[in-house]
Structure 1
Amino acid sequence: MALLYKADPVRGQHWQALFAEHAPDIEWRAWPDIGNPEDIEYLAAWQAPDDVAQLLPNLKVLFALSAGVDQLDLSRLPPELPVVRLLDPGITRGMCEYASWAVLSVHRDMLRYRQQQVARCWQGHLLQPAANRRVGVMGLGAQAQQILATLAPLGFALSGWARSAHQIAGVACFAGVSQLPAFLRECDILLCVLPLTEQTRGILDRRLFDQLPRGAALINMGRGGHLVEEDLLEALGSGQLSAAVLDVLQEEPAPAQHPFWDHPQIVLTPHIAAMTQPASAFGGLLEDIRRHQRGQDMLGEVDRVRGY
């Protein structure tokens, strides 16, 4: 029995050392040196190789080395092949750190103070108490709930929206398309951590921005496909939005001529809100392998219909 790794080779060395120490019964192989393909029962990858069914005839599980699976074309994978996303507590911690920094940066007007520093302008502005600032989170999965729990002690008024109904202590929860407008009306800072699906692609658009309070700010930690970039520029130009913190774009890396690079109301980071770390992710991956071997349900298995 072998596991084939197909992702960053530097991190692969750390993964290999962890398997050698804690799971020596699982033979480690690294792409493209796959050896006898019939030995490979598990594939751990960022993206699956083309024609995976023909290439790996005995493959039993595809482990996506990511919290989401939108980088995979699920329609091209065998329908009976389980796809399991990575449950890495390190990713969740990183997302909470980034969300806290981004929300506080917007709340404390740091984009404006940065512009003033460049202009050598020493001027203070009225401080808005956190209790008067409404922060809304789109997406209420495990990571989003941890983000809300991290923000709660700071005193913000918190709300959340998802396709299905949730109940979270201290959070006003909204569900479904019918309740989206009411949710948006309560968001001075809107933070997106939705999974990218056909239903959520392009959801951050002109129509959505127009339903936010004038002068609201956007934080996108989901995927670049959520955002209609031209609509964001228009909303910032009109004053409907005051600021945006973006960790993801439609095209990554951003081309040199991209208008976001120099925009004074945008903070742009290169998809670094959280990164998979083998040390923190290994336990979850190995647990799912062992669960599969015991015939148990795997914890991160993706629902093909929902796409996450």
Structure 2
Amino acid sequence: MTTNVLFLSTPKRWSEYQAPLSRALEATGLDFRLGEDLPAEKVEYIVYAPGGATDHDFIQFPRLKAVLSLWAGIETVIGNPTLTVPLARMVDHGLTQGMVEWVTGHVLRHHLGMDAHILGQNGVWTPAAPPLAQDRRVSILGLGTLGCACGQALAGLGFPVTGWSRSAKSVEGITCLSGDEGLTQALSTADILVLLLPDTPATQNVLNAATIAQMPRGAVVLNPGRGPLIDDDALLAALDSGHLGHATLDTFRTEPLPPEHPFWAHPKVTVTPHIASETRPATASEVIAENVRRGEVGAPLLHLVNRSLGY
């Protein structure tokens, strides 16, 4: 019996995913039909990638079994009232590895003070060595798959890593905290703060004037998570006052970041254009195909979203 898989996104993404997704589905041994224009009454699985319309009517698919997101973030679809079937987010090796590389690279950049040397020192010889990693405290807000992977990579380099999550967790190599008191402790010990929380009503503006004030003077903020995690005005005020030393930002409330936004010209802000981690077609297709296979044999789907938590 044929399994019908609809690719619901933009034509550009379809051109990128058609071949690797076909190969991955073929490897499962399933008899399948994959396309971006299948009869709605036959669709059983939807491969969903934000970028086109986000107000899809999922009721039109009476045989739909699951929606499989190509992104880790599912905030554009989770609130859709017509989506009542299971929703799975993307967790794959390529996405995780990309995030580990971006976070590790920028933590080391700020730890070593590389900007001063790259931008030039005007002929002034300043032989001031940075502290060792063991003396630079890193806190990560968010201990999902990405937060844990980044934290363990940094711990492997010798950084003392504290992780905070809304619910209690235990991760090897990371001091794990939760709750309001745990958040205060994570912030107060963060020489470098990494934001990797999901975008939910409970996490929006988690970094605001009050929480920034709890951080050490001169601390650095890295945000490869979600733009709404930060109160932009509070962040700019803290940078202007010198309370924060720098902010390296990869995600923003509005993307692309408007040319007139003050982040672009601020001397203490580095903007990267949402490149910290990207879903790679080859590895993501394997995750999607495995979930389709599981759905067809009655096995539990991987990476299901908890709608009550928002991720």
TM-score (norm 1): 0.92
Structure-2 separation of matches of 1:50 and 1:279: 27
2:94 corresponds to which residue? 90
Aligned pair in 2 of structure 1 residues 168, 256: CA closer, same or farther (>3 Å)?
same
The residue aligned with 1:42 is 45
- Aligned match of 2:303 in 278, 300, 304? 300
1:224 to 223, 227, 243: 227
Report how far residue 75 of structure 1 moved: 4.1
Q: Percentage identity across aligned positions?
A: 35
Using the TM superposition, give the Cα deviation of residue 153 of structure 1 relative to its aligned residue in structure 2, in angstroms: 2.5
User: Residues 193 and 221 of structure 1 are in contact (CA less than 8 Å); yes or no, is this contact kept in structure 2?
Assistant: yes
Is 1:26 aligned to residue 32 of structure 2? Answer: yes
- Cα pair distance change 1:5/1:187, threshold 3 Å: same
Task: Classify 1:261/1:19 alpha carbon distance in 2 versus 1 (closer, same or farther; 3 Å).
Answer: closer
- Alpha-carbon distance change, 148 to 22 in structure 1, aligned in 2, over 3 angstroms: closer
Matching residue of 2:115: 111
What is the alpha-carbon distance in structure 2 between the residues aligned to residue 121 and residue 42 of structure 1?
62
Partner of residue 7 from structure 1, selected from 1, 9, 27:
9
> Which of 154, 159, 167 does residue 156 from structure 1 map onto?
159
Structure 1 residue 130: deviation in Å?
1.4
Instruction: Give the partner amino acid of 2:68.
Output: F
**Deviations 1:281-306 (Å, cap 9, x if unpaired)?**
12111111111111221111100101
2:21/2:286 contact within 8 Å kept: no
User: Pairwise mapping of residues 248-263 of structure 1 onto structure 2 (< 5 A)?
Assistant: 248-263=251-266
**AA at the equivalent of 2:209:** R
Per-residue deviation, 1:233: 0.4
Deviations 1:33-72 (A, max 9, x none): x242111111111237535234323222111110121122
| Residue from 64, 69, 76 that aligns with 1:64 | 69
Q: Which residue of 2 aligns with 1:204?
A: 207
Which piece of structure 1 moves more, 247-256 or 46-55? 46-55
- Cα root mean square deviation, aligned: 1.8
Q: Deviations over 1:81-120 (max 9, x none)?
A: 1111112110000000000111011111233444x42x74
Gaps of 5+ in 2: none
What is the rounded CA distance, in whole Å, between the counterparts of 1:242 and 1:52 in structure 2?
46
Distance in 2 (CA, whole Å) between partners of 1:21 and 1:173 is 40
Alpha-carbon spacing, 1:127–1:60, altered in 2? closer, same or farther (3 Å): same
Question: How far is the alpha carbon of 1:18 from its aligned partner?
Answer: 2.8
Unaligned stretches of 5+ in structure 1?
Answer: none
Separation in structure 2 between the aligned mates of residue 73 and residue 19 of structure 1, nearest angstrom: 23
Counterpart CA distance in 2 for 1:21 and 1:99 is 31
8 Å Cα contact 2:168/2:176 also seen in 1? yes
Give the residue type in structure 2 aligned to 1:68. Answer: G
Query: Kindly tell me: are residues 207 and 69 of structure 1, through their superposed partners in 2, closer, same or farther at Cα, counting changes over 3 Å?
Result: same
Q: Deviations over 1:180-215 (max 9, x none)?
A: 112211111000101111100111111110000111
Residues 107-256 of structure 1: pairs in structure 2 closer than 5 A: 107-114=111-118, 116-117=119-120, 120=122, 122-124=124-126, 125-256=128-259
1:231 aligned counterpart, secondary structure: helix
**Does structure 1 retain, via aligned residues, the 8 Å contact 2:163–2:174?**
yes
